[in-house]
Amino acid sequence: MLTTANFLQYTQWSGIATLLFAALTVFAFILKWGIRFRLVGTTGFMLVLTSGLFALSIVPLSRTVIPGAAHYTLVYDNGSTQAVIATSPQITPTQLDATLRQAVSNLFSSGRSGTRQEDKLTVRARTIIHPELGASVPVYLGEAKRSLVSRENSAIAIEIYTEKFAQLPKPTA
């Protein structure tokens, strides 16, 4: 995965290329070359590209990795206060706890908007079971809540629905 240090290096190279195109553009205007206006567009594009790379070098792109977390897929996100993740039916309560902590941490964003009544991000975990042929039933296994106000010092409240784990199929050896 690309890091902010990689993007900073790409920004430097793109900045050098932008300066070279700008110098070439000035040179083309002095000599009245036919491609001088195309070079203006190329220089402008390089400015936009360099600015974008610089922005990516500032913002951290890392995800939280919590040991013991299982793979999950985001299946619903209203962009505000609610999200739902899907997990495997073979997940254990310990893995679910770690997975919910990882998901609620990764889905936190200062751009999410809460309301006065609901200022917490709620991530619910579910899996799909097939009790009979042709039937699929979603089973909600737990949920995690954290504040939308602050990333630091935000307690994460985890609730695991242990009674729902009895409905899951037993792993075969």
Whose tokens are 């013991």? That residue is 68
Identify the CA nearest to 11 among candidates 54, 42, 60, 61.
Answer: 54
pTM, 2 dp: 0.66
In this structure, the dihedral spanned by the alpha carbons of residues 169, 170, 171 and 173, taken in order and rounded to 10 degrees, is: -140
pLDDT at 117: 67
Give the pLDDT confidence of 28-66 residue by residue, as tens digits. Answer: 999 999 999 999 999 999 999 999 999 988 876 667 788
Decide the pairing of beta strands 120-129 and 137-147. antiparallel
Q: What is the mean pLDDT of the chain?
A: 88
Q: For residue range 126-169, what is the model confidence (pLDDT) as tens digits?
A: 999 988 888 999 999 999 998 887 766 578 899 999 999 888 88
Per-residue pLDDT at 59: 76
Residue range 16-36: average pLDDT?
Answer: 96
Place of tokens 């310990």: 94
